[in-house]
A and B are shown apart, each in its own frame.
Chain A
Amino acid sequence: MSLWMWLLLSCLLAYAWKLLGYLVPASVLRDPRMSRIAGTMTIGLLASLTIVNTVASGQTLALDARLGALAAAGIALLLRAPFLVVVLAGAGAAAGLRLLGWG
């Protein structure tokens, strides 16, 4: 039940951000610093989520098959593969490495 609560609160807050842009006078949000922080935070959060999902296992760091997934996804992106192919490459690499007995 508690996860539901945080989930619904997240939905409410996400909508609040979106609506804020429509309701607040443009002059308030036009401060370039706000837009810049929104941008750097987007980069920082996505980088953090990438690495956390690659090497974190609870509170410990682990090097396992997920590293292979990161590498495979990077190669797919370099080859300009569409998003879904990138995701499949990541899954395939992790599953394949496990099949070979690593991580």
Chain B
Amino acid sequence: MRLLQSPAVRVGLSISIATGLYGVSFGALSVTSGLDFWQTMALSLLLFSGGSQFAFIGVVAGGGSGVAAMGAATLLGMRNGIYGMQINALLRPRGWLRFAAAHVTIDESTATSTGQTDPLEQKRGFWTAGLGIFVLWNLFTAVGALAGASLGDPKQWGLDGAAVAAFLGLLWPRLKGREPVAIAVVCALATVLAVPFVPAGVPILVAAVVAAAIGWFSHGRSDEGLEPDMDPYADHPHPHGRPSGDAA
């Protein structure tokens, strides 16, 4: 297979497997948060952005309303708009391809693509990671949802602890340097202070407002926080430094 000689295809396939696998944890947590099987699948098939999906079920699990869950998921999805702009500038997809490309524009497909320098490799990387993750993420979401439904009491299995770990795991790769850590601490504090005073789910939106204000008024790296959940190039020497931010 000549395509497997392509470095971008290889990186795309390995990130697809790594990311797809953690769909198991999403599926299991989603059904134990109170969503049914098809609601869980709808999130993976149609929303298709890991962080936003975890945010939606995290708010629901905490007793938050549907509108608060939507708010958290939607605000967390803003960065995909920035990724869309980067991929549009790199690959210039035309016609219906643009609408398909938009759906698979997520952290990992963008990072796989922008980590390459050759235009053909950028294209291969984007589509391999995007489509590969889409297929595996949905497959493993279904596996997790079916397994989660048969678990019984989720607390006995520590699934609420699994949710905590999942969010920390998503946050972790974005804490590079002192400033993002400071932003995270300030937002966590704002959240804790808000919990007793507003309905469940709303403290997360309070933190989003605080974070947006920090972004608006302070000057720092414009690509801060836009690191992928999983760095496709973690194990490979990188052609030109960090993958995102330099594409547009």
With A10-B56, A15-B103, A43-B225 as contacts: A21 and B158 at CB distance below 8 Å: no
A18-B191 in contact (CB<8A): no
How many B residues have CB within 8 A of the partner chain? 111
* Minimum Cβ distance to chain B for residue A59 (Å): 6
Cβ contacts B118-156/A at 8 Å (1 or 0 each): 000000000000000000000000000000000000011
In the complex the two chains form, what is the Cα distance from A96 to B22 in whole Å?
A: 22
B63-A94 in contact (CB<8A): no
Complex interface: chain A residues within 8 A of B204 (CB): 45, 48-49, 52
In the complex the two chains form, what is the Cα distance from A83 to B82 in whole Å?
A: 24
Complex interface: chain A residues within 8 A of B175 (CB): 43
Cβ contacts B97-119/A at 8 Å (1 or 0 each): 01101110100000000000000
Binding site for B on A (CB under 8 A): 2-11, 13-15, 17-22, 24, 26, 29-30, 32-56, 58-61, 65-66, 68-70, 72-74, 76-77, 82-84, 86-96, 98
Between A and B, 19 residue pairs with Cβ closer than 8 Å are A10-B43, A18-B83, A18-B103, A19-B102, A35-B223, A36-B215, A39-B221, A39-B223, A39-B224, A41-B76, A43-B184, A43-B225, A45-B72, A48-B207, A59-B195, A72-B161, A87-B166, A88-B165, A94-B158
Other A-B pairs, 19, CB within 8 Å; known A21-B86, A41-B79, A43-B171:
A18-B77, A26-B248, A36-B221, A38-B78, A40-B211, A40-B225, A41-B76, A43-B180, A45-B76, A46-B184, A48-B203, A48-B204, A48-B207, A51-B191, A53-B160, A69-B165, A70-B168, A92-B161, A95-B158
Q: Which 3 A-B pairs have the closest CB atoms?
A: A21-B84, A90-B165, A44-B211
